[in-house]
Amino acid sequence: MSKVSRTKALMFAAVMAALSNILSIDLLTIPIVIGPFSSRVHFSQLPIFLSGVLAGPLAGLLTGAIGGIYMSFSVAIPFIVGGLALLGLSTGFFARRLRPFFSSILAWCVQAPYVLVTDYFWFVSARLMPPQVALSVTSVILVKMTLEAVVSSTLSEVLIHYIRRAGLIST
């Protein structure tokens, strides 16, 4: 990869990281209720998927790590940054051989166990909730995040065509 291409990929990752943080702001989310659990649906994964597919695993990792900062602070779960970094890295890795939708879905399948373990650990070790409640809450979080990943993966499949066509990043 030439110096110009690396610079373009890094700038693309930076813009996508900023967009990921913006898309996790409460004003741009959709409130939902799943049983006794209320949450907000966001699409901050979309820029991470775009970055991983269009600029590669390293750009995806950087986009996820930087793009998760706001959400990590807003919901007080410090492990979010690592999970989104893993999501971006995995997307970029799978995108080498698969269409954007499938690479994004597989990347979510890599991130899901990380979310399950770290969120459960955080809720229990920080004494925020008893183990049974933590498991229930974490399960609902995974359902919500699966919905977000499917919608974001579908959108990435469509948007990547237009991003490439516009010449915003060369792949």
pLDDT at 118: 95
Structure tokens at 82: 């690592």
107 inside domain: yes
Confidence at 117, pLDDT banded by 50, 70, 90: very high
pLDDT tens track for 137-153? 899 899 999 999 999 99
Residue 27: inside a domain, yes or no? yes
Question: Residue 171 domain-assigned?
Answer: no
Computed on alpha carbons and rounded to an integer, the radius of gyration of the chain in Å comes to: 16
Q: What is the pTM of this model?
A: 0.93
Spatial separation of the C-alpha atoms in residues 122 and 103, rounded to whole Å: 28
Q: 162 lies in a domain?
A: yes
Per DSSP, the residues of 112-141 read HHHHHHHHHHHHHHTTSS-HHHHHHHHHHH
Domain extent at residue 60: 3-166
Instruction: Indicate whether 157 belongs to any domain.
Output: yes
Domain count, the chain: 1
Residue 114 lies in a domain: yes
Cβ-based neighbours of 78, under 8 Å, separated by 6 or more: 72, 122
* Eight-class DSSP state of 1: -
**Are 52 and 13 within 8 A, CB to CB?**
no
**Domain for residue 113, yes or no?**
yes
| Mean per-residue pLDDT of the chain | 91
> Amino acid letter at 38?
S
User: Is-contact 171 54, C-beta < 8 A?
Assistant: yes
CATH number of the domain within which 54 lies: 1.10.1760.20
Q: Quote the tokens at residue 157.
A: 């499949």
Mean pLDDT, to the nearest integer, of 25-36? 82
Amino acid symbol at 11: M
